Amino acid sequence: MKTIQFNKLYKQFNIISLILILVSLILLLFKGLNYGVDFKGGTLIEIRVDQNSSKISSIRDSFNQMNLGDVSVKSFGNKTDFIVKFEKQNSNDPEFIDNIKKKLSSSIGNVDFRRVENVGPKVSAELLKSGIIAIGLSLAAMLLYIWIRFEWQFSLGAILALFHDVILTLGLFSLFSLEINLSIVAAVLTIVGYSMNDTVVIFDRVRENLKKYSDIKIFELTNISINETLSRTIITSVTTLLALSSIYLFGGEILKGFSLAMILGVIFGTYSSIYIANPILVFLKVSQRTIVKEEKD
Amino acid sequence: MLYFSKLRVISVLIFTLFISYFAASNFFKFDDNYFSKNIKLGLDLQGGSYLLLEIDNSPVITQKLQSKLIELKRFFKEKKYVLKNFSINQNSIIFETNENDVEEVKKILDEDESEINPYFQQYKSHQFDFTEDKNIFKLTLSNYGLVLLKNSSLDQAIEIVRRRVDEVGTNEPTILKKGNDRILVELPGLDDPERIKTLLGKTANLTFQFIVQNISQESFGTEKLKFENEIGSSIDTEEAIVSKRIILSGDNLIDAKPTMDTQTNETVVTFSLDRVGAKKFGKATSSGVGKRLAIVLDGKIISAPTVREPILGGSGQISGNFTFQSATDLALLLRSGALPAPLSIIEERSVGPDLGQDSIDAGIFSLIIGFVLVVLFMIYKYKIFGLIANLALVSNLFLLVGILTIFEATLTLPGIAGIILTVGMAVDANVLIFERIKEEVKNEKNYIIAFDTGYTKSRTTILDANITTLIAAFILFFMGSGPIKGFSVTLGIGILTTLFSVYFIARLFTAFFVIKNKNKEKLI
């Protein structure tokens, strides 16, 4: 197979990555994330109405009359399905949802409440906290694992690649105002696992090649390693993306955000294993001595 | 790596078939009693409600402080100490003593064996902490005391919640403690959670108190209470002043049921009292003929009938414009008892059964599509070895579903996504191996040796790569809740079954194939 000169573009792609990370961070800081009810608190109702009976505007109107705070109504997959979200939740009134149902039925006719999620402010704050802890913890655990398995230069490269993937995925979610809920946290954690997986495969090869060749510079060596593992990288990305696209297209509306986050994560993860993790090794001047010294210790 | 002993082959086969049997038992009804296991469907797939209730313990704490205050008053009075200016303020009891008594009162409060610290003998810790400033004492519940108090009120509440849920009769509810002030209720298959929510939202504190005409005559103090809804419309005011003296409370009730009053043709709730209650009720109604007795539920008057004659039989009825449903609910609440403190629903997630079914359909459809795409891609890429990898993939799926069944794990929608993701990522290990073998074949003409080295050299990489995903799955399992937990379970178990299917099943077939075709040109 022809060798592709990945290393020729290290600099260019690093600059692009840096810009993208900066843009993502700015987006996260100033635009913020669009938190769903899991993290913001409030109520989400998925409703199904009779065919042809209701337009989105009339549903929006009838909800606006109920004094529920900020109401958003979006169609959800089918023509008859809608997602309604609002700030208010039923702290002390157990008949809160029932009342909404009654009012809605009287104004737009037969309505089926397919799903109700109602999260109080205390719970949403806790969920957000535990979500952040979970992501932080997984990054720390990966760092620890890779530190045990590899030399510190490798762990730094792998972790930076992980940060890159997580920040860029969240940045895109911020850019397109996609909803962040519990399943997105799960997706991010899986991305962390996948991206690490991808990086480890290339790093394993880099280390093996470092032992094998003492006269090849790390700049070349990373390129050789990337090429040697390239067909695996591509095949695994393709099969994973095939599975994820299938979830995205056919798995129903509820899994859309989840699978989209993972599709993005897999693409970023594959990219970063090549263009973030490896240049770091070059930058840190990893050589045969790096691993030989470690092994003597 | 290519050598398999006969014993090994047989045990791999038996193990795989055994687990697959469980997987299959989800889809076919087998007539046996030994292995009647099934994957449980999560609430998001079978429909149902998840409720998180939080107990507001402040009334329990206030009550505790009040009773402690009375206890203190009595105790020190007997010991002839002068304690004055008792008050309850922000979760603490405050009182003053004579300046000369400060040291001795301190000593008594501090003493482990003191009668006033009955708590110590049992728990080796004080229920109350105290501070003193000159002659002013301040008693506050200690951390340990607070925890125990909360725990006991939570235990009580959970018991009441269980009774109420059971009375409504849902199938297999899950009711669990969470922390020291929360209760998690899962009601699978429940179509309409509104009724249970209404029932759980009521404290159901029932009391009988006389309505007072002349406030000054009432030694117990009075309170102004509202009538429930428009039920008291026959009375000109919507409020009434009742005595704070509680004639009887719901604790003395032993049964309550909705019935039809044949005289008025109204739905009423009839109740019967235990012996103590019957005695109390008889005494109060004997002395209170002609007075109006307010029946108070959670601070609101349901009705206030006039006592026409002493009620001595230990039973009575509550009327109040009930529908049959509301009478049934009230009777249910009274039978199951009052909550020690009010509960509020701080999180609710309900899924209708038809959405659940839609999710299952969509999940299974996307699993099939994803599976077929991956299988075709592998055959396209690796031909015969693609077939072997696919064989491993199929057995992987069976193993995964089988193990989920054996552990009776809960399958959620994200869990199905986890299975699909496993399908996508599972081939990775075989890809790593095959790619490695391709490299080895370039330099090694003996296929058996090339395959063997391919397997050996790729092993650490495969382990490393899978452990990272396993770590992520572990963290999700411990941090996530409900549906997300289901995802982590399938993802985690998926990794283990993947490794098994790659190293035992795929390798077995690869070995057979390579040994048979070792002299062929261009094997891979």
Burial call A84-108: b when 16+ CB within 10 Å, e when fewer: bbbebbbeeebebbbebbeebeebb
Nearest Cα of chain B lies from the Cα of A17 at a distance, in angstroms, of 24
Kindly state the average pLDDT of the residues A112-136: 90
Kindly state the average pLDDT of the residues A252-270: 93
Q: Are residues B282 and B292 in the same domain?
A: yes
Higher pLDDT, A23 or B194: A23
The predicted pLDDT at position A295 comes to 57
Do the domain assignments include residue B177? no
Closest CA to A138 of A157, A159, A164: A159
Contacts 24+ apart (CB under 8 A), A206-214: A206/A154, A206/A278, A206/A281, A206/A286, A207/A150, A207/A154, A207/A291, A210/A286, A210/A287, A210/A288, A210/A290, A210/A291, A211/A288, A211/A291, A213/A288, A214/A288
Residue of B nearest to A124 (CA): B347
Res. A153: pLDDT tops 50: yes
Q: Are residues B293 and B358 in the same domain?
A: no
Chain B residues in contact with A133 (beta carbon < 8 A): 479
Higher pLDDT, A191 or B116: A191
The answer, for A115 touching chain B at a CB cutoff of 8 Å, is yes
Do the domain assignments include residue B42? yes
pLDDT band per the 50, 70, 90 thresholds, residue B168: confident
Do the domain assignments include residue B171? no
| Mean pLDDT for chain A overall | 89
Q: Are residues B268 and B120 in the same domain?
A: no
Which of B 321-350 lie inside 8 A of A, CB atoms? 344-350
3-state secondary structure of A81: strand
Q: What's the CATH number where B494 sits?
A: 1.20.1640.10
Which of A137, A204, A247 faces B461 most closely, judged by CB atoms? A204
Q: What is the pLDDT of residues B274-317, one digit of tens each?
A: 988 899 889 888 888 888 888 898 888 888 888 888 888 888 88
Range of the domain at B79: 58-146
Cβ <8 Å between A239 and B424: yes
Do the domain assignments include residue B160? no
Q: Are residues B441 and B469 in the same domain?
A: yes
The predicted pLDDT at position A277 comes to 94
Q: What is the per-residue DSSP string for B334-400?
A: HHH---SS-EEEEEEEEE-HHHHHHHHHHHHHHHHHHHHHHHHHHHHHHTHHHHHHHHHHHHHHHHH
Res. A213: pLDDT tops 60: yes
Res. B458: pLDDT tops 80: yes
**What predicted TM-score, i.e. pTM, was given to this entire model?**
0.85
Q: Are residues B356 and B340 in the same domain?
A: no
pLDDT band per the 50, 70, 90 thresholds, residue B142: confident
Res. B235: pLDDT tops 80: no
Closest CA to B194 of A83, A119, A101: A101
Chain A residues in contact with B413 (beta carbon < 8 A): 252, 254-255
Please give the torsion angle defined by the CA atoms of residues B330, B333, B336 and B342, in that order, rounded to the nearest 10 degrees. -160
Distance CA B151, CA A66 (A): 39
The predicted pLDDT at position A32 comes to 93
Do the domain assignments include residue B77? yes
Kindly state the average pLDDT of the residues B207-227: 78
CATH 3.30.70.3400 fits A42-119, yes or no: yes
Do the domain assignments include residue B399? yes
CATH 1.20.1640.10 fits A6-36+123-296, yes or no: yes
- Please state which of the ranges A122-131, B207-216, B488-497 shows the lowest mean pLDDT: B207-216
Specify the length of chain A in residues. 297
ipTM of this predicted structure: 0.90
Q: What is the pLDDT of residues A42-72, one digit of tens each?
A: 999 999 888 766 678 888 888 888 888 888 8
pLDDT band per the 50, 70, 90 thresholds, residue A91: low
Domain residue ranges in chain A? 6-36+123-296, 42-119
Higher pLDDT, B432 or B214: B432
Cβ <8 Å between B414 and A258: yes
Nearest Cα of chain A lies from the Cα of B160 at a distance, in angstroms, of 17
Kindly state the average pLDDT of the residues B58-84: 84
Q: Are residues B374 and B278 in the same domain?
A: no
Higher pLDDT, A190 or B31: A190
Residue of B nearest to A230 (CA): B435
The predicted pLDDT at position B30 comes to 64
Closest CA to B280 of B323, B241, B251, B239: B251
The answer, for A186 touching chain B at a CB cutoff of 8 Å, is yes
Cβ <8 Å between B359 and A252: yes
Kindly state the average pLDDT of the residues A79-88: 87
Q: Are residues B344 and B357 in the same domain?
A: no
Res. B21: pLDDT tops 80: yes
The predicted pLDDT at position A151 comes to 87
Chain B residues in contact with A228 (beta carbon < 8 A): 439
Would you say B358 and B68 are in contact if contact means Cβ atoms under 8 Å apart? no
Cβ <8 Å between A182 and B484: yes
Chain A residues in contact with B480 (beta carbon < 8 A): 134, 182, 185-186
pLDDT band per the 50, 70, 90 thresholds, residue A256: very high
Nearest Cα of chain B lies from the Cα of A221 at a distance, in angstroms, of 17
Q: Are residues B107 and B132 in the same domain?
A: yes
The predicted pLDDT at position B322 comes to 84
The answer, for B370 touching chain A at a CB cutoff of 8 Å, is yes
pLDDT band per the 50, 70, 90 thresholds, residue B35: low
Q: Are residues B508 and B410 in the same domain?
A: yes
Q: What is the pLDDT of residues B330-375, one digit of tens each?
A: 898 888 888 888 888 899 999 988 899 999 999 999 999 999 999 9
Q: What's the CATH number where B276 sits?
A: 3.30.1360.200
Q: What is the pLDDT of residues A29-47, one digit of tens each?
A: 999 999 999 999 999 999 9
Domain boundary among B325, B350, B375: B350
